[in-house]
Chain A
């Protein structure tokens, strides 16, 4: 499998401009709104994060926090209308993708940045064989012949540990089990050796034992290929083993970003604290599950000040007036809370 690493190095980055000192992929103050008949929902309100080669960034948040929409904006698959980008940049190798031509962006998809979707059954085309859908990329993007593309596709199925890859090549998605389908999806997304892989809740649709296998596989492939990976999830348990850094999202903003160990040990935002507290624990048998009170805000009418203030146990008058900016609260960690210092410094 080491040959993949070599071939990855030999291809110049599709971003074009060589490789400036900057990040591999950065999202900078991104703003997206959904214009619907009922009004404008501000779904992304200034999201900033980045991912470098060889590292895994987990984006954590409840449904509706904007984590998937950010990913769709990066990939250029945001449904427009209703979704519109109203500000910010998405830079790949330092070049703003939102200002590229359609053709330039298309070339980055699959080859520069690839994506895995949550529900592999609906994400795979039901009327084509799994093999066809993988081989298609080699044929269309690499100009390979039928036989060679098939060989490479079988090789990809092998790499994601699908047993009897050769025999499975001609199967349709509905003939695969859930876990196998997600493996095929991973094989498809990795076919063109992407530099960044976005995995949007890759295990949510799977049962628990299969979840662990898929996460292990993803982590292994990420390490081998030294890809940057953005792992979108709402499951704190999934994140702990795989991620290097975590960005927590709430109401279309990053509220905390930190190294995975620091975040678990000492969350610097009350929302993160609430999330960690609500994980069921084995050593507290018989206790009621802790939850974060209230509901995520209505994105058409985000409360003034800190968007988390109506649910926050620490809320003070200042929280209802001023939006806390995302500020550095230690080496390589940031929090958007007026009381971040106090949270970090408590014993």
Chain B
């Protein structure tokens, strides 16, 4: 297990360098003057332009720029926005909100998705199974913004059950509906994967053995069947967590949550290249770590992978 972990960690290094370079290159390669409109109506003062050009090595090629950027980054310096605000500040204030929303969405995906999947997989072609199939198809077909706006309007405006937007305190109870919106499509996918997996393994020889051992049905399903069926579901949940932590531009936008998704969206619109790169680098890192965790969890669930 130790060697497996080390190998996986080493694999992260080239992936991290490759992805961050691509992002850096792409963001700064966007055509247009980075100083356009930065100083209000007037053209920016030459002094400011010279200062910024110097600071970001804008007169040098992209490799030198990237190397300098990484050097600072490794020392924990994300740089500043054009208005001299610390980028790390932006990330630190908005990222916890995104994480909170991601955790709620993941919990909803795991509980509803897995629950519906297991129940429908055990009773294939029953009423519940058909209900799950139809409702998941519905969720998959609907774009997130439709689900978001409809629920916000229905629950928040028409019926007044929830507040239409999330307050800045980000209470957990306020996040349930946004979390569901964010996880809605994934809930459906997880339910379907779990259903197939359960139904497939239900007829496996080892399940028959477990029954033949005289174990109670509860244990046959809850221990023997579930543990094997969870493997594909966990993979899906894990990769989804990586995506959830990447921020949710649409959901955060609808419910007015100050998350990383909104920040990156704003930065792209205003051509705050340093901010975009800074945030995306963090997101890449989170995504890679999440993927590693999934693989480790995968190995923990399936010993045949561990010993390869």
- B202-243 to A contact mask, C-beta < 8 Å, 1/0: 011110111111111101000010011000000000000000
Tell me the minimal C-beta distance from A189 to chain B in angstroms.
8
Closest to A122 in B: B205
Segment at the B interface, from A112-120, A144-152, A229-237, A330-338: A112-120
B214 touches A109 (CB 8 A): yes
Report which of A123, A172, A175 forms a contact with B209, defined as CB distance below 8 A.
A123
Known interface pairs A127-B227, A127-B228; A107-B214 also in contact (CB < 8 Å): yes
A124 touches B206 (CB 8 A): yes
Chain A residues within 8 Å of B301, by CB: 127
- Residues of A participating in the B interface, judged by any CB pair closer than 8 Å: 75-77, 79, 102, 106-111, 114-115, 117, 119, 122-129, 136-137, 140-141, 172, 174-175, 188-189, 192
B304 within 8 Å of A by Cβ? yes
- Complexed CA–CA distance, A262 and B215 (Å): 41
B205 touches A137 (CB 8 A): no
- In the assembled complex, 17 residue pairs joining A and B whose CB atoms fall closer than 8 Å, in A order, are A108-B214, A109-B211, A109-B213, A110-B212, A110-B213, A117-B209, A123-B209, A126-B303, A126-B304, A127-B227, A127-B228, A128-B224, A140-B215, A140-B216, A140-B219, A141-B215, A174-B304
Chain B residues within 8 Å of A107, by CB: 214
Interface residues on B, range: 20 to 34
- Complexed CA–CA distance, A238 and B209 (Å): 24
Tell me the minimal C-beta distance from A168 to chain B in angstroms.
14
B212 touches A106 (CB 8 A): no
- Complexed CA–CA distance, A124 and B303 (Å): 13
A127 touches B302 (CB 8 A): yes
B307 within 8 Å of A by Cβ? yes
- Complexed CA–CA distance, A123 and B217 (Å): 17
Known interface pairs A122-B206, A128-B227, A140-B219; A115-B303 also in contact (CB < 8 Å): no
Tell me the minimal C-beta distance from B219 to chain A in angstroms.
6
B212 touches A77 (CB 8 A): yes
A123 touches B227 (CB 8 A): no
Closest to B207 in A: A125
- Complexed CA–CA distance, A126 and B303 (Å): 8
- Complexed CA–CA distance, A129 and B306 (Å): 13
Chain B residues within 8 Å of A79, by CB: 203
B213 touches A136 (CB 8 A): yes
Chain A residues within 8 Å of B217, by CB: 102, 106
Closest to A119 in B: B205
Chain B residues within 8 Å of A109, by CB: 211-214
- Complexed CA–CA distance, A175 and B307 (Å): 9
Closest to A172 in B: B303
Chain B residues within 8 Å of A128, by CB: 224, 227
- Complexed CA–CA distance, A76 and B217 (Å): 13
Chain B residues within 8 Å of A111, by CB: 214
A125 touches B211 (CB 8 A): no
Known interface pairs A122-B206, A124-B206, A128-B227; A77-B211 also in contact (CB < 8 Å): yes
A137 touches B203 (CB 8 A): no
Chain B residues within 8 Å of A117, by CB: 205, 208-209
- Complexed CA–CA distance, A281 and B182 (Å): 72
A126 touches B228 (CB 8 A): yes
- Complexed CA–CA distance, A301 and B302 (Å): 45
- Complexed CA–CA distance, A136 and B204 (Å): 19
Report which of B208, B213, B228, B307 forms a contact with A188, defined as CB distance below 8 A.
B213
Known interface pairs A107-B214, A109-B214, A128-B227; A77-B208 also in contact (CB < 8 Å): yes
Known interface pairs A106-B214, A188-B213; A123-B205 also in contact (CB < 8 Å): yes
A192 touches B214 (CB 8 A): yes
Closest to A75 in B: B212
The 5 closest A-B pairs by CB, nearest first: A110-B214, A109-B214, A122-B205, A125-B206, A172-B303
Closest to B300 in A: A127
- Complexed CA–CA distance, A126 and B215 (Å): 17
Tell me the minimal C-beta distance from B200 to chain A in angstroms.
13
B206 touches A126 (CB 8 A): yes
Known interface pairs A117-B205, A172-B303; A125-B210 also in contact (CB < 8 Å): yes
Q: Which of A107, A110, A115, A123 has the most CB of B within 10 A?
A: A123
A141 touches B214 (CB 8 A): yes
- Complexed CA–CA distance, A117 and B206 (Å): 10
B214 touches A124 (CB 8 A): no
Chain B residues within 8 Å of A77, by CB: 208, 211-212
- Complexed CA–CA distance, A61 and B13 (Å): 61
Chain B residues within 8 Å of A114, by CB: 212-213
Chain B residues within 8 Å of A140, by CB: 215-216, 219
- B153-176 to A contact mask, C-beta < 8 Å, 1/0: 000000000000000000000000
- Complexed CA–CA distance, A124 and B216 (Å): 17
Report which of A102, A106, A125 forms a contact with B228, defined as CB distance below 8 A.
A125
B206 touches A123 (CB 8 A): yes
Chain B residues within 8 Å of A106, by CB: 214-217
Tell me the minimal C-beta distance from B44 to chain A in angstroms.
63
- Complexed CA–CA distance, A128 and B206 (Å): 11
- Complexed CA–CA distance, A2 and B219 (Å): 32
Chain A residues within 8 Å of B208, by CB: 77, 117, 123
Chain A residues within 8 Å of B307, by CB: 172, 174-175
Closest to A137 in B: B213
- Complexed CA–CA distance, A7 and B228 (Å): 35
Tell me the minimal C-beta distance from B202 to chain A in angstroms.
10
Chain B residues within 8 Å of A192, by CB: 214
Known interface pairs A106-B214, A114-B212, A137-B213; A126-B224 also in contact (CB < 8 Å): no
Chain A residues within 8 Å of B302, by CB: 126-127
Q: Which of B209, B213, B301, B303 has the most CB of A within 10 A?
A: B213
